[in-house]
Every structure is written in C-alpha cells, then in structure tokens.
A and B are shown apart, each in its own frame.
Chain A
C-alpha cells in the first residue's frame, strides 16, 4: 500500500475577545479626550502660555537649555484632538501589533495636557519633575530587581517591602552609630540578606506558602523597626541622624541637556542601580549561572535531573535578592530623607513587584516600568506644591491607582517564570 501527503487550507476565524478589548480601549481614549476637552480647558485664559523649565535651577552647566514655552489652550485642545482621533481609529479598526505604542502616545498626550493646564500662565520646572521621577523610581527599581532575581528562580518575594523597611532602618541607625554611611549601607545589605535568608528557609526548607511567608516577614519587619524606633530612637536622637550620601555628578555626562540632570547627577545609589541592572541582565541571560537560575524557575524537575541543586540555587538567589532590597531600602534614609520614620516605605515594595510584572521579569523592563510609577509619584509631590485644584489626597493615590491599572491590564500578556511560586518537591 502506498500513501500520499495531502494539505488543506485552514479556516478563517474571528476572535471576539480581542475585538472587545480593542473597542474598550477605543472608548477609553475617547473618554480621555473628553476629560481633557472639558476639564482642562475650563479655566485657562486666552493667550496664556505654559513655561516648562528644562534646566535645573542653580545648575552650573555651561550648556544653556531654553525653556519650553507653549500656548496653553492650543496645546490642550491639540492633545484632546489627538486622543479623540486615535480613539476613533482604535474603536473602528484597532492598531494591530502597534497598540502598545499608541497607548503610550495617548498617555503621554494626556499627561502633557494635564501639565500644561497646571502650568497655564505660570512656569513649572519640568526638569525638576523628571529628576524627581528618576529619584522616586530608584527604590522601586531596587525592589523590582529583588523580585526579578527571586521570581526568576521560582520564589515569590512578597517580603520586599519588609526588606526595604529594614534596610532603611539599618542604614540610618548603623550609619549614625558608626558615623560612616558606607558602613551603614553595607549593614543594610547584610540585614536585607538576612531577611532573604529567613524567607528562603521558611519557603524552601519549611515549605511554607511563599505569600504567607513574605507577609509574615513584612509584619515582623514593620513591627520590629517600629518597636526599636519607639524604644530607642526617640530617646537617642543621635542614632537617627546619618550622613546622607552626596550627589556625584558625572563630568561631561551630567552636562547633557535633560538626560544629564536626570540620570547622571545623582548619588551613589543611582550609579549602583545602573551597575546592578547591567550585571543582572548580563548574568541572567548570558552566563551559566543565569541559565541555571532560569531553568530552576521554569522547570525545577528538569534542572534537578541534569544535576542542578534546585534548593541551593534558590537559597542563594533569595539571599541575593534580599541584599539588593536591603540596599534599596537604605536609599530611603541614606540617599534621600536622612532619618528613619516608621513605615516610611509606604508600599514601594509592592509597587516594585508591579513594576517587575510590567517589565516582564527583566531588569531593564523593570527600570522602565519603575520610571512610570516614579513619574506618578513625582507628579503627586510637585503638583501639591503648585496648589493644583485637585486635593492632595487624590494625588497621593495616583501611584497606587496606576499600579492597579497596570496589573489588571497586563496579566496574561506577559510571561512569568513557569514554576514561580511552587515549592520544589524532590520526593
């Protein structure tokens, strides 16, 4: 008997869910356009201009960067029109694979319209907001990097918040006690690593549910730091006055307009972060260590059968994640405000997790995502100074609302490590 091969053409199909998503997004764009058109044009005077300062006040740079001056009303209407047009197209046809780019454009247009409105008839330090964005993004990114490390190996790290808090506390106290902020930084790293070890032991050795273990560590860290702060730091003020790290502008690079003041004029934490992002990216995707870590996170049994020690790998990386988070926590005190205040991290650890998800579990993606959250944070800080007609409490909510939107919108679109969250049972 002989056989022949035959092919048939596939049927044409229609994906209803995708169309629904497309339409919802289109309506959202149109709604944003209406919000701009209605709210943001109301009390803007004819002929008013918004001035955006693009060079930091007091900058010693020789390069002069002109201010961005725009006609307020025109810009706002333009933004509204753009959003409306894009919304209409999105509703009718959609943008196919470029939908994310369009979403970005609409968001940028909306934000810019908002800033223009807020600065109508006045000037606003846009560079200030951008600088603050990067600064606010720093601790979030440290948190996200900690999450990336742990989750790539398959361990969910909810305890980032507690690690940040402990890092902040340790950095301040040890930095004050020893008079040396570098020692404080190192101590913060060590404490972070210890908490990481605690998480590792609970989750790996004692097979505790990882989310519960993380929550326990958060509560424990919050309680312990508050307890010691109340008991000791109140009476001994001198233990809570560490020397902050000074900013170190990088010659030449810090002179570049806009980018320079944003990324190359910070303190040691910023540069540490960049180094860390590079190292983790290279490590995870180009080295043997990284291949094994990712294998453990995707398919621990397969890794086990080729001789990789799954538990040991996870222990090591969770401790490393703790160290990273500890350093990030030290930023709050040694890099930013100076003294420790109870619960000063305010949820940044969880926002870091959201940034990690948004960033697709990669270091660079996490940084970019953190910038978005940082921007929300910075906006909130600056706008309340500007006495914008929005209550400050609502501005404070912005980072959290953005996080919810991001998390709700992206699940299923990004690929997480397959064995994330599952303890490995050797049997």
Chain B
C-alpha cells in the first residue's frame, strides 16, 4: 500500500467568469424581476442627493421612451391617411405641411384633453367665476379619473411581478370585481355611505381576489403557467359579464340590452370637487399604493414575495413555502385588480355594462413595467397613461383620430421601457439599466 496522499490545497470546479455558463437550464423562471433602484443597493436608505440624482437618471429612460413612442405614433397617423401618398406626389410641401398640422392637432388635442387648455385656464381665472374655474379643470379631473383604475391594475400586476408571476388576467379580475361591487351597489338599500361604500369595495376586492386565486392555486398545485390560465380566465370573465347582465335579478328592469341595475347613490364614491367627475377613488388608489409599498418592503410577507420572485429555489431552501406565496400573491393581485373594477362602476358609470374597461388590465402591465414594479413609480406611470386615455377621447372627437392610437403609443412605450438597449441604440446615449428586467424565464415550467 502506498502512502496516503496529503490533502490537496485546492478542490474542484472553477466557475467560468462573468457569463454564467451553466450547462443545465437552471436559471429561475418567471416574470421580470424589478430593479434595484439606480442609486442605492437594496434596502439602503439613500441620501437626498443620491435620490434626486437617481430620480433624474431614472427618468431619462421613461421620458425618451414616451418621446420615441409619440414620434412613431405621429408616423402612424400620417401614413394611415390613404390620401397622403397621392398628395405627397402632387405637392410635397403642402402635403407635409398638412401632415404636420394633423399630427400637431392630434397631439394638441391629446394634451389639452388631459391637462387642460392654457387659454381656458387664463380666461376662467380672469373671470373669477367659481363654476368656470372648476370647469377649466375638467381635463385634469378626467385624467385622474382615467388614472384611478390604472393605478389599481398597475399595482396588481406589479405585485405579481415582484413575486415572479405574470398576471395577464387583470382585465378579467377587474370585471369580476365590477360584478360583485355592482351587485352590492344596487342590492343593499337603506345603508349609510360609510357602510355601503366599504361593503361594496370589499365585495369588489373579493370578486377580483377569487379570479386571482384560481390561477394562483393551479400554479401552486399543478404548475400550470399563469399566463395561459389568466388569459383564458379573461375570456371566461367577459362571457360571464355578458351572461349576468341578462339575468333578471341583475339586469335593469325594462331594458333588453345588457346593462345592470343602477347602483344606489349611497355606494357611489364621493367626488373630489363638486362639479367635477374625479372622485375619492383616486385617493383610495394612493392609499393602496402606500399599503402595497409597505407590504412589499416592510413586511415579512413581502420579504417572502420578493425572495420567491428573485430565486424560488433558494427561498424554498430557506424554509419559505412557494405554494403559499404564489397563492397569496395572485389572490392579492386579483383583489387589487377587482378594486379597479369597483373604481369604475362605483366612481364613474354607477352601472355595469360590458364596455366599462377599455383594456385597463393590459395597461396595468405597461405601467408595472414602466415603474419597475415599484409603487411610487406606478403612481406616476398611471397618471401618464391616464392622461393619454383622457386626452384620447377629445382627440377622437375633435380630430377624428381613433382612440386606438393611444393603444399603439402605449405598446411602444412598454417596448422602449422594457428594452433600454433599444433606446440606447437609437439615441446613442448612456441609459442606466433602470428597469433591471431580468431576462430569465423558463418557458412553461413551474
């Protein structure tokens, strides 16, 4: 027998440098994980100066994204005029001038429709008439109104993202919340507002939560990918709404079209300012943003969400239950989207019809991405998108440009925000990886 060899100094595998060259597909799957803030490392309280600088740096990308989207939107407007090419050939100067006019007109209408017309403001303040002043603020009121459901759906999707889940079902959850909330709104008579409103809100949350619970449960127990399940549930929700709007107990008496009973005014969200449509639903949204922020960054449950979202395997090793976290996150997310639904039926329409949501659920995805799933950013992003939406309707009625243009612009904004390298490439500048969207995803595996 030979001598036992003395212990070696260095053991096995050197890790390949920076690029993680893992042979087996082991990268965690899931939704885009939110970024570390540009200035501070996770959890660190940043100095004010750092925060301002970080904020400014963090703004470059969204601002450029919006700008680029507007430019492309302008191109779409011009090119979709089928007489454009003929006129261009005939008289280039005039054609281009007319095109520019059209674009400016459209965007101008968009602007004044969302923020207000400087001329109207000036005249109103000059006149001193309270009613006139109030009316001058109508566009801003409409913006807040449009921003409210977006705030909720943005929070809903962001909560999902933080936990590594793609909640594409905010639209359907919104409708479920609306169904439940409307029912409470018209079914309970004689309640004072401070009972009726919370009850209706609770019902709306419950409806959305139910619609979020289903995909959460399926994902946790069977591994079914939430993208497909939530999308399917959207379609099922649409059909459910159509169905329930024709059920005698729910449908408005005397009407044959699908419209619900009118909700009782004790369930309506009170307006912020008498005479304007903007209501306390927006404030509720701000409160929700605060709560979500506390939940994610200051609570134990939120710690679990984020850990599971960033690395589910390590989270499991550390004792966290992925199944529970998934279910809770999806349920809460659905509940938030349900609140978006109640904000519409209790705050604006006071009744339920099929078209109450024009894609608010999908906008939520855009907003969550723009804000890197951070509640503070969501507030701003939802105001931005709310402005776009509020301005779209007057834009359509004044200039005839269909409101779908706004959808196109929003899609472009998401695209630019989600691919900072694209913006970098176009403008040849240094843009920080502000979104920090992790590009890992494991396809359909749980």
Q: Tell me which of B218, B223, B408 contacts A220 (CB under 8 A).
A: B408
Contact B405 A227 (CB under 8 A): yes
> Of all chain A residues, which has the CB nearest B218?
A408
Known: A213-B419, A301-B21. 20 other contacts (CB 8 A): A202-B419, A208-B439, A209-B31, A209-B440, A223-B404, A223-B405, A227-B405, A227-B408, A230-B404, A231-B402, A299-B25, A346-B235, A401-B236, A404-B229, A411-B225, A416-B444, A418-B24, A421-B444, A422-B440, A427-B18
**B236 contacts across to A, CB distance below 8 A:** 397, 400-401
Q: Tell me which of B81, B229, B407, B446 contacts A412 (CB under 8 A).
A: B446
Given A206-B422, A209-B32, A213-B418, A412 and B232 touching (CB < 8 A)? no
Across chains A and B, which 7 residue pairs bring their CB atoms closest together, nearest first? A427-B19, A223-B407, A420-B443, A421-B443, A227-B404, A220-B411, A230-B402
Given A209-B439, A227-B80, A407-B228, A216 and B414 touching (CB < 8 A)? yes
Contact sample, A vs B, 5 pairs, CB 8 Å cutoff: A227-B80, A391-B243, A393-B240, A408-B224, A422-B441
Q: Is B20 positioned at the interface, with any CB of A under 8 Å from its CB?
A: yes
Contact A350 B228 (CB under 8 A): yes
Q: A213-241 CB contact bits vs B (8 Å, 1 = yes)?
A: 10111011011101110111000100000
Contact B25 A419 (CB under 8 A): yes
Q: B271-287 CB contact bits vs A (8 Å, 1 = yes)?
A: 00000000000000000
**A397 contacts across to B, CB distance below 8 A:** 235-236, 239-240
Given A232-B80, A409-B222, A412-B223, A422 and B442 touching (CB < 8 A)? yes
Contact B418 A209 (CB under 8 A): yes
Which of chain A's residues 156-210 have a Cβ closer than 8 Å to chain B? 156, 158, 202, 205-210
Contact A404 B418 (CB under 8 A): no
Q: Is B412 positioned at the interface, with any CB of A under 8 Å from its CB?
A: yes
Contact B243 A393 (CB under 8 A): yes
Q: Tell me which of A210, A215, A231, A236 contacts B401 (CB under 8 A).
A: A231
Given A227-B405, A416-B444, A427-B18, A408 and B242 touching (CB < 8 A)? no
Q: Is B16 positioned at the interface, with any CB of A under 8 Å from its CB?
A: yes
Q: B132-161 CB contact bits vs A (8 Å, 1 = yes)?
A: 000000000000000000000000000000
**B31 contacts across to A, CB distance below 8 A:** 209, 211
Q: Is B381 positioned at the interface, with any CB of A under 8 Å from its CB?
A: no
Q: Is B82 positioned at the interface, with any CB of A under 8 Å from its CB?
A: yes
A357 and B229 alpha carbons, distance in the complex (Å): 13
Q: Is A334 positioned at the interface, with any CB of B under 8 Å from its CB?
A: no
Contact A219 B410 (CB under 8 A): yes
Q: Tell me which of A205, A409, A418 contacts B25 (CB under 8 A).
A: A418
Q: B148-188 CB contact bits vs A (8 Å, 1 = yes)?
A: 00000000000000000010100000000000000000000
> Of all chain A residues, which has the CB nearest B440?
A422
**A393 contacts across to B, CB distance below 8 A:** 239-240, 242-243
Q: Tell me which of A209, A223, A228 contacts B437 (CB under 8 A).
A: A209
Q: Is B227 positioned at the interface, with any CB of A under 8 Å from its CB?
A: yes
A427 and B407 alpha carbons, distance in the complex (Å): 37
Q: B412-445 CB contact bits vs A (8 Å, 1 = yes)?
A: 1011001101100000000000000111111111
A63 and B63 alpha carbons, distance in the complex (Å): 69
Q: Is A403 positioned at the interface, with any CB of B under 8 Å from its CB?
A: yes
Contact B408 A210 (CB under 8 A): no
Q: Is B292 positioned at the interface, with any CB of A under 8 Å from its CB?
A: no
**B81 contacts across to A, CB distance below 8 A:** 231
Given A223-B408, A231-B401, A417 and B443 touching (CB < 8 A)? yes
> Of all chain A residues, which has the CB nearest B229?
A404
Closest Cβ of chain A: how far from B248's Cβ, in Å? 13
Contact A404 B407 (CB under 8 A): no
A275 and B138 alpha carbons, distance in the complex (Å): 59
A215 and B222 alpha carbons, distance in the complex (Å): 24
Q: Is A288 positioned at the interface, with any CB of B under 8 Å from its CB?
A: no
Contact A206 B407 (CB under 8 A): no
> Of all chain B residues, which has the CB nearest A151?
B443
Q: Is B23 positioned at the interface, with any CB of A under 8 Å from its CB?
A: yes
Given A350-B232, A357-B444, A411-B222, A158 and B227 touching (CB < 8 A)? yes
Q: Is B233 positioned at the interface, with any CB of A under 8 Å from its CB?
A: yes
Contact A404 B232 (CB under 8 A): yes
Q: Is A363 positioned at the interface, with any CB of B under 8 Å from its CB?
A: no
Which of chain A's residues 119-137 have a Cβ closer than 8 Å to chain B? none
Closest Cβ of chain B: how far from A407's Cβ, in Å? 5
Q: Tell me which of A219, A228, A391 contacts B414 (CB under 8 A).
A: A219
Contact A400 B232 (CB under 8 A): yes
**A156 contacts across to B, CB distance below 8 A:** 441, 443-444
